[in-house]
Structure 1
């Protein structure tokens, strides 16, 4: 869960829940920092969603438990600091640390273990999960979109990233974000990035013949829209790339990278043509 629809839109269009912080009883050790960087999730009944609103977490997406497990997710163990399970694991951690053994299997466990001090929070209605390194997903993997900003919870089992529409007044395309309106701004930003990275054949100056089409040979490498999007957005959900491709293919089905376009201009060409040949 996150705090705003803008943050949720960013997660949805990127297809990734980032691992931005360290967790677990080994999180303070820089030598195994990457093993403790994880994305956090909450397992809970839908009837308890309002409790998250009280924490300021009003927007989120839900996955099936099996999907999270398949991507390395595990439940977090909150162990009593004075109990024998915690003491045993803590002992293994200390032995690995003393021997500077950073490949010891204990570091695969420590991200999912935290100590529970007497009198601290105990599990009642939710259980924490973590995925080391973050979680990548496609929209088809999302089983529920959650919005708690209104009086009644907003729950969507199916949702879309919307599509662009042409604003005749401004003579520009704007993206309707679909289920989450804020997605529109993210898609427009992605389109701007695409157009700053790739050129249409016309903008690249690729010669065109009515019978043969664009003459790419010797000018630039032709890149199909879908391939360009894959290079630009390798981790984005396929549904996001498909929606972008539907729009971009109406502009051009082929694109060029500016750095690969032959830099010769008309003036240089004319100069070469005027140079006498012995």
Structure 2
């Protein structure tokens, strides 16, 4: 993935509301430092929290036991180079929709002396009176709230999301895998149907799918594009929304309409893993 984003596949850039919004992304990426760590995550189907808790009650983790989380970033795919320097060169990308369904949310950064920060501090103080109850609702919020310390703790640029306790997923939930250029070895040998994106911006596509299945997917993709159109090519944009002049279909609904039997058998089959 080059610094300027040259060669990054177009379908990974932009945002659902408008593909031209290159400052936003439909994907959230979790990075790890080594191939071995990424392999472990893929085999287990789970991203586990590290040893450190995050959020405005991280110092209470020894008493609460519920403040650890895993981290992802909503930085656009072609601008992840700086984040990789800090968190590692191997990554997994998921859609925003999937992470939301798993309880994920953006981190809220509170500046010093801000009324919101003072209010949160009072709420935490109140919750601690008479002993800490780990079931108190406030502790479901604190992992997503960071207190900014100018000159010391300023990480708003990471555009971070968190999921409390860890993230369990199926391989079909992964949008793509990010690996260093030239790192092809053991990860691809897992024979997953997940596309790979390399740091130099190239994409290998569906590298692990057998040729006969790849050909079938190409046929289905062509049929899908002939039957359904991109709203950006046909509809006007008014007040932040499309002006629908034709029936609206979600991608899932359209795919199920065209290929109901194939989807049912394919996603229930273990041959994909």
TM range (shorter): 0.5 to 0.7
- Structure-1 residue corresponding to 2:223: none
1:121 aligns with 2:154: yes
Which structure 2 segments of 5+ residues have no match?
A: 1-30, 183-198, 211-266
The aligned runs of 1:46-61 (5 Å cut-off) are 46-55=77-86, 57-61=88-92
CA drift at 1:42? 1.3
Structure 1 residues 203-253: Cα deviation after superposition (integer angstroms, max 9, x where no partner): xxxxxxxxxxxxxxxxxxxxxxxxxxxxxxxxxxxx9x93699xxxxxxxx
CA drift at 1:46? 1.1
Range 95-104 or range 9-18, more displaced: 95-104
1:152 aligns with 2:200: yes
Q: Contact conserved, 1:79 with 1:85, CA < 8 A, in 2?
A: yes
- Structure-1 residue corresponding to 2:270: 242
- Structure-2 residue corresponding to 1:36: 67
1:4 aligns with 2:34: yes
1:110 aligns with 2:142: yes
Q: Contact conserved, 1:144 with 1:155, CA < 8 A, in 2?
A: no
Structure 1 residues 149-203: Cα deviation after superposition (integer angstroms, max 9, x where no partner): 45614545646499xxxxxxxxxxxxxxxxxxxxxxxxxxxxxxxxxxxxxxxxx
CA distance in 2, matches of 1:52, 1:129: 13
Q: 1:70 aligns with which of 76, 90, 101?
A: 101
CA drift at 1:40? 1.1
- Structure-2 residue corresponding to 1:142: 174
Choose 1 or 2 for highest CA Rg.
1
Query: Helix, strand or coil for the counterpart of 1:117?
Result: coil
Structure 1's 44 and 12: CA in aligned 2 closer, same or farther, altered over 3 A?
same
The aligned runs of 1:208-223 (5 Å cut-off) are none
CA distance in 2, matches of 1:161, 1:107: 43
Q: 2:117 aligns with which of 86, 95, 98?
A: 86
Structure 1's 107 and 149: CA in aligned 2 closer, same or farther, altered over 3 A?
same
Give the RMSD, CA atoms, in angstroms.
2.7
TM-score if structure 2 supplies the norm length? 0.55
Segments of 4+ moved more than 3 angstroms: 153-162, 241-245
CA distance in 1, matches of 2:95, 2:165: 19
TM-score if structure 1 supplies the norm length? 0.54
CA distance in 2, matches of 1:8, 1:161: 20
Q: Contact conserved, 1:147 with 1:155, CA < 8 A, in 2?
A: no
Query: Helix, strand or coil for the counterpart of 2:178?
Result: strand
Structure 1's 70 and 106: CA in aligned 2 closer, same or farther, altered over 3 A?
same
Structure 1's 137 and 45: CA in aligned 2 closer, same or farther, altered over 3 A?
same
Q: Contact conserved, 1:145 with 1:157, CA < 8 A, in 2?
A: no
CA distance in 2, matches of 1:76, 1:156: 32
CA drift at 1:111? 0.9
